[in-house]
Amino acid sequence: MAQPRSLRGKVIVVTGGAQGIGAVTAAALTRLGARVAIGDLDHVRAEKTAGELGGDTLALPLDVTDTTAFTAFLDDVEARLGPIDVLINNAGIMPLSPLDEEDDASTRRQLEINVHAVIHGTREAIKRMRPRGTGHIVNVASMAGKAGFPGAATYCATKHAVVGLSEAVHLELRGTGVDVSCVMPAIVRTELASGLAEAKMIKSVQPEDVAAAIVDALRKPRFDVFVPKSLDLMGRITRLLPRRTGEWVARSLGGDQLLASAAHSSARADYEARAAGSAPAVDGS
């Protein structure tokens, strides 16, 4: 059995790294000796997070929807820290509403942040890593990338796209020395999950659980990263069932209301407002 890879001295980029899963992942990587660069739209919070982490942690402003600026950000990281060994495409938003109530600006924002930015980041990583014959791309999707949840149709569509992108690129990079991992967590208790009730079968997880899974996938490369691991088995079983039976199981477990019930929750007001202002390159176009 191959020895787990060391992350000491590795240059690792985390988009959306100022808070939530990104910040906790950056902290875990820093503790293992990695040289971490945080990119985030909230530069003030990113600098605060980097300062708390210490070491060589770098914080730079990043609007992932501005592809020219995204490329320049990666160039800047390499100029300061060296060639990028790992890119973690973590930035994402999850506005909730029935599809017929979702305005087009929200749709565009989700597509640009959750899909286009991940495609661009992945492409840029390939261009930098493949010539060196080494590297690792981590795309953060969701269990919503394997199923549909009422109240978050566009979000589910974006995460299905991330899963499909990752699967295709994983095959394209076979034998090149560049690994791809796709992270599919259940509900993670960050600001993004504000107002969401606990699921009956699959319990929510903490950002530390996701960070630990990402670190493990970097040390022992694998494509599928389910958090918790039981999501994989549940998904396999559900897909074997006839559609009507599978939908009945989902309703019985409250899956049909998991996100829909929080769509108009006052507990999500602050998050929804922040998500609405998270893509200036899109909103200013």
Catalytic residue numbers, as ranges: 155, 159
Helical packing angle, 117-129 and 67-81, nearest 10°: 40
Length of the chain equals 285
- Residue identified by tokens 């971490």 is 36
Task: Choose among 238, 225, 235: nearest CA to 166.
Answer: 225
φ, ψ dihedrals at 26, nearest 5°? -60, -40
What is the Cα 159 distance to its own chain's centre?
9
Q: Collapse the DSSP code of 265 into the 3-class scheme (helix H, G, I; strand E, B; otherwise coil) and give the result.
A: coil
What's the alpha-carbon Rg for the chain, to the nearest Å?
18
Q: Collapse the DSSP code of 144 into the 3-class scheme (helix H, G, I; strand E, B; otherwise coil) and give the result.
A: helix
Number of neighbouring beta carbons within 10 Å of residue 265: 15
Cis bond before residue 150 (omega within 30° of 0): no
